[in-house]
Amino acid sequence: TLFAAGLMALSHSALAITVGFSQVGSESGWRSSFSQDMKDEAKSRGIDLKFADGQQKQENQIRAVRSFIAQGVDAIIIAPVVETGWTPVLKEAKRARIPVVILDRNIKAAEGLYVTRIASDFTEEGRKAARWLMDKTKGQCNIVELQGTVGATAAIDRAKGFNEVIGAYPQAKIVRSQTAEFTRAKGKEVMESFLKAEDPQSLCALWSHNDEMALGAIQAIKEAGLKPGKDLLVVSVDGVPDYFKAMAEGDANITVELNPHLGAPAYQVVEKVLAGDKGIPKLISTTGEVFGQDTAATEYQKRK
């Protein structure tokens, strides 16, 4: 039986799929949940996962992908930090006949260089946030905007969708806009500068490209002696537990939920491709719903 067990262990490791995953970094609660999901799902499927944290830098991600190619992994998954600059390394993967799956943010590269992209519709998220705000304020609102990482699809498309909707309301405008790189610390810092540059009484809402920056900004709003969620409405995207808590406490108004469970669909695609499936669509997309204060306390209990 020892011999049999040894044989089984051997055949298992010989059969196990090896996947290299280049993740953006750990800038937000959403990203951490997504990373955890990738690890948990790999484990439950017996996939040998090589995980590389790019610390929000494309050069680190490219280096990781090159090392996956050198190690001869069966497949590569990339969650790209920005859209441009991927073509050379994708060509290297192609030459090595290693299939590449893109998760979350988009890339600008020829379609033949990757199998598919699995992502949410970020433009629609921006539209949903704006529709709620225009409804709530009857289209009269001076807005400050915390943008995500410059060059990242999640920032580009959320801004696009939001601006598209408020464009129809002449009394709604974005008075200040700056990147805070999707992090809580920067969100606080940039919000402080907004509140110094503008008369806080003239502002009606904060539009943040993710919850993490909004959570930092909520702190800054409080420190300035204002009530977030009332004096300044707070609208955002992601749906992380801390933000549900903030909504339950009245400090934030809405978030558009973004599903962090990308592991199962990603590995499903990898398994199909390695089995020879050629019929995989180029985009597998999802969208999330708006959550507000009314359900925040129960949603927080479910998610924390």
Phi and psi at residue 27, to the nearest 5°: -75, -20
> At its nearest, how many Å lie between ligand GYE and the CB of residue 258?
5
Question: To the nearest whole angstrom, how small is the minimum distance from the Cβ of residue 128 to ligand GYE?
Answer: 13
Q: How far is the CB of 71 from ligand GYE (least distance, A)?
A: 26
Contact 184, 215 (CB under 8 A): yes
**Residue 188 neighbours by CB under 8 Å, 6+ apart:** 216, 217, 219, 220
CA–CA distance, 104 with 109 (Å, rounded to integer): 15
Taking the complex as a whole, how short is the minimal distance between the CB of residue 80 and ligand GYE, in angstroms? Answer: 9
Which residue, 26 or 137, is less far from ligand GYE as judged by CB? 26
> Where along the sequence are the contacts to ligand GYE (CB under 6 A)?
27-28, 30-31, 104-105, 154, 182, 210, 212, 237-238, 258
Q: In what order do the strands lie in the sheet with 290-292?
A: 172-179, 141-147, 205-208, 233-238, 254-257, 290-292
For the bound state, the minimum distance from the C-beta of residue 239 to ligand GYE, rounded and expressed in Å, comes to 10
Q: What is the dihedral of CA 206, 210, 213, 216, to 10 degrees?
A: 80
- Residue 168 structure tokens: 């129809």
Residue type (1 letter), 222: K
